[in-house]
Structure formats: structure tokens, C-alpha cells
């Protein structure tokens, strides 16, 4: 018998995939977790029934939540990731040899454990083998409250603003992130689909602008997320992602990136009109 998975992206539209096997299904203190194998997208992690990552298209999300900030900041040494328990974001950060320490603060220990067991291509740097990586199982909001003037980069690799991630889209949280960053620090956060989530984007970017002097949106193509058109917020104290981008350094990187490159770094910040309108300043 064929097994099919559907995620509704609106009342009347969704994405459907054929599933070959359910590898794990369980409930944590925070959310329902499933890891299934699909015929088209490889292994896929679901939280509360929604797609978080698939093996086939995770390279887009994880390249784009990391490398634009890591190649804008001239010398990032200490990086914090909030969420991201699958490990894909940490894997990309570790390609930058100048980074001395990356801290992962994920609220749900079950996501980390099951990713190490069932998603090894993503979790390869959070399995205890890399001394440059430290794990904290904690709410990102609680963690950041106790840290001041400490990180060069903070990457918010979170779920949508319902449930445990709700507070990660609020102005109070962004103020704490600002405080936890060094004087030239950068924050990047996944910022939903410009096509479907105009309302979330409007309040998120308003909240970011209340705190950071430089706030820009950039885009990436992620086929398994709603509409396939996804975005990230770049919020910075000093460095601008286009004007201060060192194209030479990015071009000379000594590792492979399947999505990110020095041309796309600039192109990703160029937005269609409807997306600019979502985050217009008035
Ligand atoms: N790397 C892409 C995967 C994710 S999952 C996001 C993670 O954020 C989840 O593991 C969730 O447990 C964690 N999380 C949620 N809230 C918090 C919090 N308050 N503190 C720490 N971690 C948290 C991103 C998917 C994006 C999906 C877009 N549709």
C-alpha cells in the first residue's frame, strides 16, 4: 500500500510526497517529531507535522543561513545557533576554519538525539566528535538572557512563530540578541515565505528595525517549504551584507558549497517588488 504525506500550505494548497518508510515517530515535551524516508527527497524531519528539513534540499537552507553572514563579517570567531537541532547549520559553520567555537542552543533534546541517529549527513558535527562545537539543550530566550557582548554571529534557525519559537520573533528577544552580540556582530534569522507570510514578515522586520541599524532581507529557493520562495533576515550592528562584502575572500573559499557562491551572495539581496513591499518601512 502506498503511504503519502501532505503538508497544507494554506487552506486549499499543499505539498504531497510518497513515503517509503517511517523511521521514527514520537512526542517530546515540546512537539511531535517524525523522521520518514521519502522517494523523491530522501529522509525528512517533521515537527508537529510540518517539514523542517529533507536530505535533498537542506543544502539550500543551510548554505544560506550561514555563509552570507560568515563572509560579510571579516573575522567571525564565536558563533551561536538558536534552534537548528538537526545540525546542518553547525556543519556549514565548521567549514570556516577561523571559527573557534560554535554553540548550538536547541530547546528539544529529542531533535538532536534523533538527528544524530537518523540524519548523519546533517548531524556530523554535533555528535561529540568536534571540540569546536558545544551543545546546550535549552530555550534560546533563556540562554541569550545570560550572555552579553560575547558572539560575533547569532543565527536563529528556528521553527515558525507558533509554539516554542513564538518569542524568537519578538522585539524583546532581538534586544537580547543585540546585547549578546559584540559591537560589530551580525544576526541572521529564517524569516518565512514572502509569498505566503506577509503579515509575519511585516511585524518581524518592524521588530528588527526597532533594534538594529542595518536590516536587510535576502531570499533562497527551498522546494519543500511553503511556495518554495523562502527568506532570511540579516540584522547587523556595523557591516552591510552588500557594501561590506569581501567578494575575493568568498571566491577563494577552500570548501564546496552546492548553493552559495560569491555571485549569489549579492543576487540574494535583490528582491521582487511584492517582497520589498512586505517589509517596507512605513
Ligand atoms: N535546520 C532547519 C530546521 C529547522 S528546525 C528549528 C528548530 O528550532 C527545532 O528543532 C525546534 O525544536 C527549535 N526551536 C524552536 N523554538 C526554540 C527555542 N525557543 N529555543 C531553541 N530552539 C528552538 C528550521 C525549520 C524552518 C521551517 C520553516 N517552515
The residue whose CB lies within 8 Å of the most ligand 1 atoms, and thus the one to mutate among 52, 59, 195, 225, is: 52
Check whether 1 has a pLDDT greater than 90: no
Of the candidates 157, 172, 244, 246, the residue annotated as catalytic is: 157
Which atom of ligand 1 is found nearest the CA of 165? 16
| pLDDT at residue 148 greater than cutoff 80 | yes
**Beta bridge mates, 102:** 79, 133
Selection from 230, 150, 222, 148 nearest residue 189 by Cα = 230
Interval 112-139 mean pLDDT: 98
CA 32 to chain centre: 20
Q: What is the mean pLDDT of residues 25-38?
A: 98
Residue 2 in this model has a pLDDT that exceeds 90: no
Distance, CA of 50 to CA of 161 (rounded, Å): 13
Task: Determine the pLDDT at residue 122.
Answer: 98
Query: Is it the case that residue 17 has pLDDT exceeding 80?
Result: yes
> Model pTM greater than 0.95?
yes
Active site residue 172: no
Is 160 annotated in some ligand binding site?
Answer: yes
d(CA 79, CA 103): 6
Domain architecture of the chain: domains with CATH: 3-52 (2.30.140.10), 58-278 (3.40.50.150)
ipTM of the assembly? 0.98
> 64-90: per-residue pLDDT in tens?
999 999 999 999 999 999 999 999 999
Amino acid at each position: 500500500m502506498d503511504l503519502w504525506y501532505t503538508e497544507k500550505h494554506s487552506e486549499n494548497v499543499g505539498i504531497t510526497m510518497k513515503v517509503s518508510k517511517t523511521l521514527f515517530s514520537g512526542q517530546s515535551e515540546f512537539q511531535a517529531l517524525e523522521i520518514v524516508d521519502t522517494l523523491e527527497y530522501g529522509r525528512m524531519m517533521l515537527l508537529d507535522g510540518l517539514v523542517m528539513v529533507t536530505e535533498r534540499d537542506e543544502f539550500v537552507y543551510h548554505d544560506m543561513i550561514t555563509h552570507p553572514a560568515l563572509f560579510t563579517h571579516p573575522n567571525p570567531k564565536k558563533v551561536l545557533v538558536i534552534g537548528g537541532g538537526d545540525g546542518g547549520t553547525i556543519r556549514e559553520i565548521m567549514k570556516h576554519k577561523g571559527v573557534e567555537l560554535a554553540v548550538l542552543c536547541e530547546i528539544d533534546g529529542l531533535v538532536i538525539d534523533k538527528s544524530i541517529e537518523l540524519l548523519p549527513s546533517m548531524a556530523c558535527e554535533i555528535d561529540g566528535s568536534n571540540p569546536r562545537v558545544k551543545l546546550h539543550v535549552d530555550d534560546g530566550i533563556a540562554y541569550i538572557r545570560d550572555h552579553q557582548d560575547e558572539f560575533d554571529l547569532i543565527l536563529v534557525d528556528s521553527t515558525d512563530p507558533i509554539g516554542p519559537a513564538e518569542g524568537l520573533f519578538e522585539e524583546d528577544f532581538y534586544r537580547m540578541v543585540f546585547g549578546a552580540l559584540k559591537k560589530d556582530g551580525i544576526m541572521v534569522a529564517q524569516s518565512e515565505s514572502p509569498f505566503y507570510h506577509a503579515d509575519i514578515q511585516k511585524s518581524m522586520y518592524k521588530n528588527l528595525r526597532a533594534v538594529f541599524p542595518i536590516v536587510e532581507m535576502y531570499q533562497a529557493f527551498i522546494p519543500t517549504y511553503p511556495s518554495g520562495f523562502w527568506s532570511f533576515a540579516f540584522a547587523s550592528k556595523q557591516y552591510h551584507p552588500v557594501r561590506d562584502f569581501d567578494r575575493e575572500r568568498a571566491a577563494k573559499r577552500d570548501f564546496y558549497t552546492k548553493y552559495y557562491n560569491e555571485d549569489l551572495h549579492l543576487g540574494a539581496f535583490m528582491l521582487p517588488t511584492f517582497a520589498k513591499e512586505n517589509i517596507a518601512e512605513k
